[in-house]
Amino acid sequence: MNTVLVTGATGNVGSEVVLALAGKANIRAAVTDVEKAKGRLPPGTEAVRFDFEDASTFAGAFAGVDRLFLMRPPHISDPKVIAPSIEAAKAAGVKQIIFLSLQGAESNSIVPHAKIEKLLLTCGVPYTFLRPSFFMQNLTGQHRDEIRQRGEIFVPAGRGRTSFIDARDIAAVAALALTEDGHENKAYTLTGSEALTYDEVAQILTEVTGRPVRYANPNLVRFVLQKRREGLAWGFVIVMAGIYLTAALGRADGLTDEVPRLLGRAPITVRQFVQDYRSVWLS
């Protein structure tokens, strides 16, 4: 069995990659704090300290690793911070790097994902790029409290449609690329099967939770001011605003059939996702 190092193992996608690899690989979870991560990993998972910003953690994490699941933590926007870990992975003999990128990264040179893809293209280690659309898990993560406490989704996406994907589907594809041959030097744009407006998402949340949820549809200025009042950093708010502006302009609605092609089943729908995580908004 391959030994796989999973970065972001406590995050939306990495945590699902760990679950999807169970029994298929020797899993090593890369975490910034081994003690803290214990309760967030499946019992018995090997955890190793790894910090993109601390090169002294690289050798121990990469020793004996065959394949790497690489993600960029959202607060690290400078690809130069990620570059040393890619070099260290190469030096340690890692044979393939599966990178969690972003839908459209190939035609958007501004986003950090595009720059990291470039680093991987030139580093000489076989790569697989996973380019997912918006995560459904944003609804249980960053939007959970506004849905739970105020019964609203507060994003400036206008009436644009978004092709959401469930992190579990991304992880299932990652698990294939991390355990099978044939995915080397390929890029997969991963989306769900439907592009929905936030009005439609709010309607699904209302129907499934039994509590009214509305789409607030704030303009960009209102959104930025509100997020700043909530204490979010400028950089993060600007990135969020940019992402939702893309949706408002109708550029986040692209669908692909990569998930059914690779997994042999339909992607998880937003309704299924909301049913599976219903209790998150009710607790």
Ligand X SMILES: NC(=O)c1ccc[n+]([C@@H]2O[C@H](COP(=O)([O-])OP(=O)(O)OC[C@H]3O[C@@H](n4cnc5c(N)ncnc54)[C@H](OP(=O)(O)O)[C@@H]3O)[C@@H](O)[C@H]2O)c1
The residues that touch ligand X, with contacts defined as CB under 6 A, are 7-8, 10-14, 31-32, 37, 50-53, 71-74, 100, 102, 132, 134-135, 138
State the minimum distance, in angstroms, from the CB of residue 254 to ligand X. Answer: 13
Angle at the Cα of 174 from the Cα atoms of 168 and 177, rounded to 5 degrees = 150
Question: What are φ and ψ of residue 47, in 5° steps?
Answer: -120, 140
First-to-last C-alpha distance (Å) of the chain: 40
Q: Which CB, 36 or 211, lies closer to ligand X?
A: 36
Q: Which residues is 67 bridged to in the sheet?
A: 4, 96
State the minimum distance, in angstroms, from the CB of residue 191 to ligand X. Answer: 10
Integer Cα distance of 119 and 272 in angstroms = 37
Q: Which CB, 1 or 75, lies closer to ligand X?
A: 75
Q: Which CB, 48 or 208, lies closer to ligand X?
A: 48
Q: Which CB, 96 or 133, lies closer to ligand X?
A: 133
State the minimum distance, in angstroms, from the CB of residue 18 to ligand X. Answer: 10
The amino acid present at 67, given as its one-letter code, is: R
State the minimum distance, in angstroms, from the CB of residue 194 to ligand X. Answer: 16
Q: Which residue's Cβ has the minimum distance to ligand X?
A: 11
Q: Which CB, 172 or 211, lies closer to ligand X?
A: 172
Q: Write down the residue that tokens 């690989």 correspond to.
A: 25
State the minimum distance, in angstroms, from the CB of residue 101 to ligand X. Answer: 7
Q: Where are the alpha helices (DSSP H) in 194-283?
A: 198-209, 220-229, 234-248, 258-263, 270-276, 278-282
CB 188 within 8 A of CB 262: yes
